[in-house]
A and B are shown apart, each in its own frame.
Chain A
Amino acid sequence: MAEGLYTKKVMAHFKKPHNYGKIKDADGIGTVGNLVCGDVMKLYIKVVKNKKGQEIIKEIKFETFGCVAAIATSSAITDLAKGKTLEEAMKISKSEVAESLGSLPPIKMHCSVLASDALIEAIYDYFSRNKKGMPADLLAKHQKIFKEKEETEKRYKDWTEMEKKILE
């Protein structure tokens, strides 16, 4: 059974994902992953200020094309990020995502990276839109994600071209 492959927590998120769908007037959107690889994750956030004047994630939703682990980590990160200040949310790590699900099969660990990256990208998008005080570590994280994305796309381009060549 599927339960043998994934933990109960992963399966619970997969069966009934939390916070899926679109936020039409989102304040930030983060898209990560690659269609060729088979995982695309999109996170929408709605940001408001709390009583202390801190910016918090009031609402968060996801849309994901991908495997069980991709859907479960998407769902899990919305739980982890909801209500957090942007500063706190930025710090949510891939291991936190994986731990909140019990564990992930080693081959699926990259899905937890995808989820935390998507959140970083959504927050980065929020700051870019508002053109104000982009935190330096957020920018650095975004640049790292961007660079990795480029490399993956190049790798897959090389690979698909290689396949094409073989077939020709």
Chain B
Amino acid sequence: MAEIKKSVLSKAAARRRKNNMEAKKEKTPRIYMDYGAATPVDQRILKKISRFPAEVFGNTMSLHSFGQRSKGILEESREIVAGLMGAKPQEIIFTGSATESNNLTLKGAAFANRERGNHIIISPIEHSCVGESAKWLESQGFEVTKLKVDRYGLVDPKEVENLIKKETILVSVMHANNEIGTIEPIEEIGAICHEKGVYFHTDAAQSLGKIPIDVNKMNIDLLTGSSQKMYGPKGAACLFIREGVRISPIIHGGGQEFGLRSGTVNIAAIYGFAQACALCKKEMSKESVRIVKLRDKLIKGVMDKIEGVHLNGHPEKRLPNNANFWFEFVEGESLIIQLDLAGIAGSTGSACSSAKLQPSHVLLATGLRPQEAHGSLRLTLGRWTTEKEINYVLKVLPGIIKQLREISPFKKQEDY
């Protein structure tokens, strides 16, 4: 009798345990707030390209119908991508990544215009693919000057004007910064470059599809865009090259993409990229209003609920989806992992999270001390971010900060 009772009891206990576990499982949501790092492919795009690898596989360089079908889709894609930024289709070339587009811009423009000069100007907050390309060019005999930025990460167009000299061939300033979201005065910088006869490149990997871009109105000669930051597939990016701008290829071969980027094109990714551009063009204005509202709620909530928190980047001139803070006395990697355990995906500029063990060059350029940069948190919202998710972040973040501060040896500004 006692034994029967025991087995019934243990069965009930097991069931309760199972229910509890399931409830627990449900309790931890999966909230993605790192859209600035990568975006999932929009299902509407996925539907259109899912059969491409098996069906639209012809080589665009082939003369037969298989090849010509691919070629037709490639040119249709070029037109759509050009349409998002007011460019002509023949001014767009496709590459494999924004990193490649930026490498092509710096190296290609430098080597194609060597007889005109050897001087390049970049901002100090460029993505590492621009910074490292510039560094490599220095080793090849080019001269690179880095601009300054203010505490919000803004470049001063006047400084660009002052630094341009007769040897200057290229100025590269990103449209919007990937970490702090600050939007640069591109139109003014472009006007100065044009007046001085210098090529102007802008890395718009973070901004294309999120805020309006018109390459003519904004005086842009070269522009980098990325599919995987705007709900398109990875493996496709573009470089806008204004007609007449001289640039040398860095990948040589069969002469695809007007001879500027050899190699068989990734037609599925490119068509997906084009569809992503089409969707952004259609939905951008409505989408950004929705996301700004959520983002502002997030920023206000964090600043109100937590003490010792500071906003990185410009309060107004910033990407609709970007929020970036630094928290006193807290280290970013610990913060990211705690958030991840709570189901929230974000990112940090802390040294501990980087392969180089150095804090974010962007945050340091805005004047933050290393210990302050270590405490940074970037949350980037996107197409599927909901108000419920924002509320959840606002619910759990204060507790996580409190816990990490309890462990921290620093409690006051003076000893920090």
Contacts and interface: CB of A to CB of B under 8 A. Distances in A.
Interface centre among B365, B374, B416 (most CB of A within 10 A): B374
B287 interface: no
Interface string A54-93: 0000000011111111110000000000000000000000
Given A36-B370, A38-B351, A160-B370, A66 B334 contact: yes
Chain A residues touching B, range:
20 to 34
Chain B residues touching A, range:
20 to 34
Interface string A125-168: 00000000000000000000000000000000000100100111
Contact of B337 (A68, A166, A167): A68
A64 B408 contact: yes
A47 B83 CA distance: 74
Given A15-B341, A68-B337, A107-B357, A35 B371 contact: yes
Contacts of A5: 337
Given A167-B124, A167-B365, A38 B334 contact: no
Interface string B342-369: 0000000011110101010100110000
A135 B326 CA distance: 44
Main secondary structure of the interface of A (DSSP, over half): mixed
B355 A14 contact: no
Given A67-B352, A67-B353, A1 B340 contact: yes
B146 to A, nearest CB: 6
B407 A20 contact: yes
Given A2-B341, A35-B370, A167-B365, A42 B409 contact: yes
Contacts of A17: 407
Contact of B331 (A15, A36, A67): A67
Given A15-B341, A160-B370, A20 B406 contact: yes
Nearest to A166: B146
Interface in B296-337: 329-331, 333-334, 337
B79 to A, nearest CB: 42
Given A2-B340, A67-B331, A167-B124, A38 B352 contact: yes
B409 A71 contact: no
Given A14-B337, A167-B148, A65 B409 contact: yes
A24 to B, nearest CB: 14
Nearest to B351: A38
Contacts of B359: 38
Given A166-B124, A167-B146, A21 B334 contact: no
Contacts of B340: 1-2
A72 to B, nearest CB: 10
A35 B374 CA distance: 9
A68 B333 contact: yes
Contacts of B66: none
Interface in B140-168: 146, 148
A36 B371 CA distance: 5
Interface string A2-21: 10010000000011010011
A37 B337 contact: no
A31 B409 contact: yes
B407 A63 contact: yes
B337 A163 contact: no
A106 B407 CA distance: 24
A67 B406 CA distance: 14
A67 B409 contact: no
27 contacts: A1-B340, A2-B341, A15-B341, A35-B371, A36-B370, A36-B371, A37-B351, A37-B370, A38-B351, A38-B352, A38-B359, A40-B410, A62-B407, A64-B408, A65-B330, A67-B331, A67-B333, A67-B350, A67-B353, A68-B333, A68-B334, A70-B352, A107-B355, A107-B357, A160-B370, A166-B124, A167-B124
Across the A-B interface, the 6 shortest Cβ-Cβ residue pairs: A67-B352, A63-B409, A67-B333, A42-B409, A38-B374, A35-B371
Interface of B: 124, 146, 148, 329-331, 333-334, 337, 340-341, 350-353, 355, 357, 359, 361, 364-365, 370-371, 374, 406-410, 416
